[in-house]
């Protein structure tokens, strides 16, 4: 099986490397900034998305947002695209986090080419992309899912079919709401503890094994205590995801007031120049208001 992989950024690069390590033949765009690095690891290169698609049994995309996905896959705007070269019987797996409606639009377009489309966004950030332990939530045809599940398992520890096309991204939006609100709750709590004069390290040790403990807290509090906001998942990307969540919720007449609130927190941090910080930097918002940093 030959896999074409488009989108070799913070997440896509290590994901592609894990496919090579897993024994898959990989083709990447020659124009990518990481093409040389992936070629050195064993990948081949293609001069266009069309050419990449022509040579691939499965095309995977890992792109920033809906407009980029539509441009690369469908040629929106008239540029080079996957749909120009894709062969009937192939499978397209979009692992980007985008609006569910765009996934459905892409699925309909590829169906007209006798190509199966799956939306398969991921959760876990850069560390889990590197070690191949991402959570992957998939929407689409069950038979197509079974065909690509073994290769998805090279990138993720959890690979789950959740429903039809678009349901993968609905699941990802739910995930992103929970993560953002969890970080905000952790931030409020630890700023309160620090301002009250209680050692945040001891607070963490005391509560992480109880009901308040979470994967989010375990991942983010050590970073916060070190003042390390190097991005595993950037604030600007979480803003993108929450905007998709708000748009989807509003289209479905679902109220999401807590999501709207944390979105404004993220927007405030972006305004202050923290857009490229890890989303654990949500705590900076509360630290500024309370005039108290949470550090060791």
Helices assigned H by DSSP within 120-214: 125-131, 142-152, 167-195, 200-207
CA angle 291, 266, 261 (to 5 degrees): 90
Catalytic residue, from 172, 195, 276, 291: name it. 172
Instruction: Answer yes or no: 172 catalytic.
Output: yes
Provide the b/e sequence for 165-174 (b: ≥16 CB within 10 Å): bbbbbbbbbe
Provide the b/e sequence for 86-111 (b: ≥16 CB within 10 Å): beeebbbbbbbbbbbebbbbbbebbe
Neighbouring-strand partners of residue 4: 27, 59
Rounded CA separation 292/272 (Å): 17
CA angle 105, 134, 191 (to 5 degrees): 105
Answer yes or no: are the C-beta atoms of 151 and 1 closer than 8 Å.
Answer: yes
Residues in the chain: 296
Positions marked catalytic: 172
């Amino acid at each position: 099986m030959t896999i074409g992989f488009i989108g070799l950024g913070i997440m896509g690069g290590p994901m592609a490397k894990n496919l090579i390590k897993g024994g898959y033949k990989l083709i990447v765009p020659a124009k990518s900034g990481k093409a040389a690095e992936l070629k050195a690891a064993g990948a081949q290169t293609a001069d266009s998305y069309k050419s990449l698609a022509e040579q691939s049994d499965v095309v995977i995309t890992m792109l920033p947002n809906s407009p980029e996905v539509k441009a690369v896959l469908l040629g929106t705007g008239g540029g080079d695209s996957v749909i120009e070269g894709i062969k009937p019987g192939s499978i397209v797996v979009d692992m980007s986090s985008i609006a569910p409606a765009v996934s459905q639009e892409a699925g309909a377009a590829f169906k007209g080419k006798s190509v199966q489309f799956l939306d398969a966004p991921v959760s876990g950030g850069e560390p889990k992309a590197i070690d191949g332990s991402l959570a992957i939530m998939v929407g689409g045809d069950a038979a197509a899912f079974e065909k690509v599940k073994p290769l998805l398992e090279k990138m993720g520890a959890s690979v789950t079919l959740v429903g039809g096309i678009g349901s993968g991204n609905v699941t990802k939006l739910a995930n992103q709401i929970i993560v953002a609100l969890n970080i905000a709750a952790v931030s409020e709590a630890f700023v309160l503890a620090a301002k009250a004069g209680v050692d945040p390290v001891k607070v963490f040790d005391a509560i992480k094994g109880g009901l308040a403990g979470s994967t989010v807290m375990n991942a983010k509090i050590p970073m916060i205590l070190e003042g390390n906001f190097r991005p595993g998942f950037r604030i600007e990307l979480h803003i993108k995801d929450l905007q998709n969540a708000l748009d989807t919720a509003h289209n479905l007449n679902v109220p999401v007031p807590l999501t709207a609130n944390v979105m404004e927190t993220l927007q405030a941090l972006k305004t202050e120049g923290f857009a490229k910080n890890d989303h654990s930097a949500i705590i900076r918002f509360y630290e500024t208001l309370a005039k108290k940093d949470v550090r060791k």
